[in-house]
Structure 1
Amino acid sequence: MSFDETKPVGFVTLGMFIIDEFSFSDENGIPTGRTVDAQEWLVFTIYIGGGGTYAAIGARIWLPAEAIGMVVDRGYDFPDSIRKQLLAYGSDMWMFRNQPGSKTTRALNSYVGEHRNFEYLTPRIRITPRDLIGTRIAKPKILHFICSPSRASAIMAEVGEIADWYPTTIYEPIPDRCVPEELPALIEVLPSISILSPNAEEALSLLSRALPPTRASIEEAASCFLDYGIGDNGSGHVIIRSGEMGAYVKSRERKGIWIEAYWKGEHEARIVDVTGAGNSFLGGLAAGLLLSPDVFDATFYASVSASFTIEQQGLPTVSGAEAEHPLWNGDFPLRRLQILKARHGEL
């Protein structure tokens, strides 16, 4: 298939596609009896996972499929039912890459009370900027990646080696590397990053700050990251995703603001599973940046994308995918965007 590199795709994530498995126990480690195993998925509902997948869908809530790109590595065990489910969101957004000698990447999400642990069950197949060259999704306007600070440096080095490509970069630190020992590596890569977005616990852990997070400690953490110099000449932004508290957005040029979570207070019963919410948030952020180049305004789009992700276990459903404004979980994203902005006096 031919493509025109002078018209780059809007958003690409380097995050992986994963088939998720789940286990559930109480605070004492005693199984609750709630299980979702691979065989159950194959008979009933398949739960697709991976930070990249959720980010891509978060962007798809706002953008047509052809504006989005993600590499999906298919092992020899890749179920056809998964392929069909992905294609339902739009065939143009997925770049399938066959791995005939390997299994599809799988991971276990184990919940102990409210705490989630994550571990890979198969070797990871990483995706790099070089993998995009020569494809339809080469040189996107916005690039998203989820990794350790040291790998973020390697990714940005590759970006710098590709001619005539200056993407807006959204960096999401991988949770298990958000530890104080990684802070020097993070500080080193921050000048090449456009937007840094850890969640509140990750941000405080990197900075050796006390938990649990409070609004005050989150605001202090954002200021600290900005002082380290995010973006070229400190022109970048930090967005700390803070669950039910919302998201805190700040840059050196503008004072920080809080964007509310869409589902909160009396409506928290709508929250079923927060898996992938942060990834979806950042896909929505990227879409918002393509529709409205202001980072603060784009964060409203991000919050709405997360709202659709947490209403069920697994990905949200789309109806009328080919329509200009499809329904997601039976609702219009623009309606939620208007409601959220009205709460902030933005309309």
Structure 2
Amino acid sequence: MADKSDNAREFVSLGMFIIDEFSFADEHGNPTGKTQPPQIGGGGTYATIGARIWLPPSRIGMIIDRGNDFSPQIQQALDAYGSDMWLYRDNPNRGTTRAINSYRGETRGFDYLVPRIRITPRDLHGTKLERAWMIHFICSPTRANAIMSEVKADKDWHPTTVYEPIPDRCIPEELPALKEVLPDLNVLSPNADEALSLLSMPLSPTRELVEEACRRFLDMGVGPNGTGAVVIRSGAMGACVAQRGQPFSWVDAYWSGPGSSSKVVDVTGAGNSFLGGLGAGLALTNGDIWEATLYASVSASFIIEQEGLPRLTHAVDETGRQVELWNGDSPQLRLKELQDRLETTKGTK
């Protein structure tokens, strides 16, 4: 993992901010009558909030491109998490990036309504986000190579890299580009379907198949001299954590087991927030990928409890210290509960 600079942010996402709109139809294309107001979205936004659950605004960040339709309500909602974490860029000549999430029965479609503005490492130069200790990016393997080329062009910057392949480019044709960029990645984290698709493996994830996918990625050489990690996010099965020369291990999804299904309201952004939590966990545990994955699982647990982003409030604990609560609960208590659960599971094997 990269060495930390005193002034650098610990986690910066290169993902985008998007305003999500929604339409709902049955399997025949007929409107269902269901409506949902536009809401804050974007993989970068969810990842940054996933990190914010653990880190203060001054230690994280992302760029938000504000168009001429950026409402005061959205501004207020974002700044409630801490205005210092956002780097706003204003463009009065265009609208904010928007996308339509089209639901037809159980099938979800996604299309941009406004041309997207992609963010690259070069955009961080000269800003409060430059030379972050860790960067997170969501894109195709081909574009990941371009991103890493920009990173390596700065000889004084060697960030820890957390890469999340974009779902629609997790296809076998992208595997050669992925192999090319793997040595530059500290963490590779597709979800189970994405991993299996990239590797042309059967698309019905099981623990055995996920572990085999981890093994194949490690054999390709993840990270400098093979020192990187693979974390395959596998929904209710949890996440498989893999490093060369170490036994594979699984971290439970926080909401798993009896009664947990009632807590799962909307999984949109769960994978992105998982990786934000992973990044924060790496910063807080001095690069321990196993422990960081527990932070990741807890971050995702807060995202899936409602539609949209979680609610941040403040309270005073029994010692008189002000603490942050997310959806009325403590991330630290959830982390301790998950740690205890996994220790108990280990003890019964």
Q: Does TM-score exceed 0.5, indicating one fold?
A: yes
* Equivalent of residue 78 in structure 2, options 86, 90, 93: 86
Structure 2 residue matching 1:268: 3-state secondary structure = helix
Alignment partners' CA distance in 2, 1:56 and 1:64? 11
Please report how far the alpha carbon of residue 162 of structure 1 lies from its aligned counterpart in structure 2 after TM superposition: 1.3
* Equivalent of residue 292 in structure 2, options 298, 308, 316: 298
Residues 82 and 238 of structure 1: is their aligned pair in 2 closer, same or farther, counting only changes over 3 Å? same
Q: Return 5+ residue gaps in structure 1 as ranges.
A: 42-46
Structure 2 residue identity aligned to 1:91? S
Alignment match, 2:25:
25
Please report how far the alpha carbon of residue 255 of structure 1 lies from its aligned counterpart in structure 2 after TM superposition: 1.3
Alignment match, 1:157:
149
Equivalences for 1:64-79 in 2 at 5 Å? 64-79=56-71
Please report how far the alpha carbon of residue 19 of structure 1 lies from its aligned counterpart in structure 2 after TM superposition: 0.1
Alignment match, 1:272:
265
Residues 92 and 321 of structure 1: is their aligned pair in 2 closer, same or farther, counting only changes over 3 Å? farther
Residues 219 and 115 of structure 1: is their aligned pair in 2 closer, same or farther, counting only changes over 3 Å? farther
Structure 2 residue identity aligned to 1:342? D
Alignment partners' CA distance in 2, 1:23 and 1:171? 30
Residues 49 and 188 of structure 1: is their aligned pair in 2 closer, same or farther, counting only changes over 3 Å? same
* Equivalent of residue 56 in structure 1, options 15, 27, 48: 48
Alignment match, 1:316:
310
Alignment match, 1:44:
none
Alignment match, 1:289:
282
Structure 2 residue identity aligned to 1:332? S
Tell me the TM-score normalized by structure 1: 0.93
- The Cα RMSD (Å) is 1.7
Percent identity, aligned pairs only, is 61
Alignment partners' CA distance in 1, 2:94 and 2:315? 32
Count of aligned pairs between the two proteins: 335
Structure 2 residue identity aligned to 1:118? F
Residues 214 and 283 of structure 1: is their aligned pair in 2 closer, same or farther, counting only changes over 3 Å? same
Alignment match, 1:133:
125
Tell me the TM-score normalized by structure 2: 0.92
Q: Return 5+ residue gaps in structure 2 as ranges.
A: none
Alignment partners' CA distance in 1, 2:247 and 2:91? 47
Please report how far the alpha carbon of residue 25 of structure 1 lies from its aligned counterpart in structure 2 after TM superposition: 3.3
* Equivalent of residue 240 in structure 1, options 223, 232, 237: 232
Alignment match, 2:216:
224
CA contact (8 A) 1:89 1:321 kept: no
Alignment partners' CA distance in 2, 1:185 and 1:176? 15
Alignment partners' CA distance in 1, 2:341 and 2:31? 41
Deviations 1:64-112 (A, max 9, x none): 0100110000011111110111000001100000122111000112233
Structure 1 residue matching 2:273: 3-state secondary structure = helix
Deviations 1:285-319 (A, max 9, x none): 00001111200110000000000000000000100
